[in-house]
Amino acid sequence: MADSPEYTYLRVSENNLNYIKDLYLDCFKENVPLGFLKKKYDTSFAGLRDVGFFAMSQSGNPAAYYGVFPVLFTYNEKDILAAQSGDTMTHSEHRGEGLFVNLAKHTYEFAKNNGVEFIFGFPNDQSYRGFVKLNWQFSGYTNKYQIYVTTLPLAKLSQKMTFLKPVYNTETNFFIKKYLSRKSSFDNPLAASDTLTVNRNKNYFNYKSYYPKHLLNIDGHSVWLRTDGSMLVGDIENPEEDSFDKILSVLKSIAFKLGNHKIIFQTLKDSELDKCLSKRFTATEGLAVGWLPLKTDLDVSKIKVSFADFDTF
């Protein structure tokens, strides 16, 4: 795909992540640490990295970015290279120029030529129409559960007042110490024959540490979570009805002590975790689950994902 007269395409790399940082600041008013970006964009564990492109303006500044994060899926005991769409951004001075669609097509072509078999992701309301234009297919929406905890807002305070962050981190480590798992990973609970699920090996868990997370052992079940103002529960190993109330009780206790006013789950409908949650809470509509096959011989509708697989977890 040729560059337009107004813009040139530049592939993302470790050496130009400052452009991602600039776009984050303009689009989301967020000053993202460069170290965080280096970890998130290093998808070497999947055998491929730096799959994304900037549209550079004539002045040499980043006008937009579209990229995907390579990840390995498992299908019938075989690894398949896929990639999650993420960090889609257009600078406020360059919107309405069709850069989202053009960059996405450019990225998909590069991904396909480098062995990626499908793209998947979780578009929000703002980007959903753009993905429809790109011929994405959708299976519906996740179920979102928000469990409120009455507590002091210590987590949010530590985010706003950076000098409190070290103290808060120390408190966090203290309160969860007794629940820390001795394991460094656990198998994907959604994995089954004839399904497409993320290969959650140790390399994947290590990669996902770009956000600080905790792997806990509660009543014999691994619980993968991170605290970021709220408590985000990525997944629970083999959730069972008989032990779920105990798991929830411990999570609420930890959330109370850490000043997390919400515990948030996002689940696939009819998954085992969703069944446990739906018996106790009312879900709201979460994010859309979509995909784009790059190779025609793979039925991507068999994809099964959880909150832990979001690039924002």
The answer, yes or no, to whether residue 228 has pLDDT greater than 90, is no
Q: How far apart are the first and last CA of the chain?
A: 33
Sign of CA dihedral 257, 260, 262, 268: negative
The pLDDT tens digits of the residues spanning 247-283 come to 999 999 999 999 999 999 999 998 999 999 999 999 9
Q: How confident is the model at residue 2 (pLDDT cuts 50, 70, 90)?
A: low
What are the beta bridge partners of residue 73?
Answer: 80, 198
CA–CA separation, 306 and 313 (whole Å): 10
* Residue 3: per-residue pLDDT: 57
Where do the CATH 3.40.630.30 domains begin and end in the chain?
8-116
**Percent of the chain having pLDDT more than 90?**
85
Sign of CA dihedral 30, 36, 38, 40: negative
Q: Which two tokens stand for residue 242?
A: 């008989």
* Residue 26: per-residue pLDDT: 97
Task: Kindly state the DSSP code that residue 99 receives in the 8-state scheme.
Answer: H
Q: Return the residue matching tokens 């560059």.
A: 3
The pLDDT tens digits of the residues spanning 280-302 come to 999 999 999 999 999 878 899 99
CA–CA separation, 279 and 50 (whole Å): 42
- What is the pTM assigned to this prediction? 0.93
| CB contact at 8 A, 168 and 280 | no
CA–CA separation, 291 and 68 (whole Å): 12
Q: Which top CATH class is 143-286?
A: alpha beta
The pLDDT tens digits of the residues spanning 144-179 come to 999 999 998 888 888 788 778 888 888 888 889 999
How far is Cα of residue 84 from the mean position of the Cα atoms in its chain? 8
* Residue 290: per-residue pLDDT: 97
CA–CA separation, 244 and 277 (whole Å): 9
CA–CA separation, 63 and 8 (whole Å): 10
The Cα-based distances of 209 to 36, 154, 171, 174 in angstroms read: 10, 22, 19, 19
- Could you name the CATH architecture of 8-116? 3-Layer(aba) Sandwich (3.40)
